[in-house]
């Protein structure tokens, strides 16, 4: 099954030829650096960064994204990018270069997983209600903040989602085999699902879901015949 290159994906999304196919000139590089600088300066004017720089936040910590959190038999990357205390409440925040205003339930629970990280740290509360989870994201030309106070129900739902996801990943790994055969990844049941999938442009099924299913069935039959 054919997969699209990164440039093909970019051009499919934008509907026009990508400038990445051309060698960037110094003027274009300067323009991109200027955009990055504007985003950076805009970011430090938002909370909590502005308050930290003004000395209004006295207790705060940055956390490496590669730090691991023990969750049962799994090691997860669920730490926040920054944590700070305001009053009796701890805030846990992650950055997103691009984001949407309305998070789906899966993204909400994914953010709530930061509380799992927090409740096993020393010196911070074990009570979920003492945390506010936040996400800073760039959307429509400005930094925006999504936030929600955690509670035990959301924490339990996040734990269940992680366990279900890990089971699904293990099942998928077993199905793909040692060679990690991507052609064996389960495909969607209908094209409508593909339209809302973030992996639609790089899916091994390509653009034709019906044909991909036929090819996958043929491969599964061929594999079974060799057993």
Per-residue pLDDT of 32-79, as tens digits, reads: 889 999 999 999 998 889 999 999 999 999 999 888 999 989 999 999
pLDDT at 1 over 50: no
pLDDT, mean over the chain = 84
Query: What are the φ/ψ torsions at residue 102 (nearest 5 degrees)?
Result: -110, 105
Q: Cα–Cα distance between 96 and 134 in angstroms, integer?
A: 11
Q: Cα–Cα distance between 132 and 198 in angstroms, integer?
A: 27
**Percent of the chain scoring above 70 in pLDDT:** 87
For 132-152, what is the mean pLDDT? Answer: 92
Residue 150 is predicted with a pLDDT of 96
Contact assessment for residue 82 and residue 60, using Cβ atoms and an 8 Å cutoff: yes
Query: What are the φ/ψ torsions at residue 176 (nearest 5 degrees)?
Result: -70, -30
Architecture per CATH, 57-151: 3-Layer(aba) Sandwich (3.40)
In order of 92, 112, 127, the CA distances from 147 in angstroms are 9, 10, 18
Which pTM does this prediction carry?
0.74
Q: Max CA-CA distance within the chain?
A: 69
Q: How confident is the model at residue 11 (pLDDT cuts 50, 70, 90)?
A: confident
Residues 6+ positions from 18 with CB-CB distance below 8 Å: 7, 10, 11
Residues 6+ positions from 201 with CB-CB distance below 8 Å: 4, 8, 9, 12, 13
**Positions of CATH 3.40.1350 in the chain:** 57-151
Which comes out higher in pLDDT, residue 218 or 222? 218
């Amino acid at each position: 099954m054919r997969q699209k290159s990164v440039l093909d994906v970019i051009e499919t999304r934008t509907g026009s030829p990508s400038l990445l196919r051309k060698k960037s000139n110094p003027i274009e590089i300067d323009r991109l650096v200027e955009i990055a600088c504007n985003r950076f300066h805009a970011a430090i004017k938002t909370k909590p960064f502005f308050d930290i720089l003004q000395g209004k936040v006295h207790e705060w910590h940055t956390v490496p994204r590669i730090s691991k959190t023990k969750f049962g038999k799994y090691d997860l990357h669920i730490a926040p990018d920054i944590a700070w205390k305001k009053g009796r409440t701890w805030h846990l925040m992650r950055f997103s270069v691009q984001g949407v205003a309305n998070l789906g339930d899966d993204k909400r629970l994914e953010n709530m997983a930061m509380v799992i990280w927090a409740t096993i740290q020393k010196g911070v509360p074990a009570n979920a209600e003492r945390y506010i989870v936040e996400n800073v994201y760039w959307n429509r030309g400005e930094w925006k903040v999504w936030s929600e106070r955690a509670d035990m129900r959301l924490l339990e739902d996040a734990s269940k989602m992680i366990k279900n996801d890990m089971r699904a990943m293990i099942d998928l790994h077993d199905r793909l085999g040692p060679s990690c055969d991507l052609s064996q990844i389960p495909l969607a049941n209908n094209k409508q699902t593909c339209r809302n999938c973030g992996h639609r442009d790089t899916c091994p099924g390509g653009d034709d879901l019906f044909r991909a299913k036929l090819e996958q069935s043929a491969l599964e039959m061929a594999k079974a015949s060799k057993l």
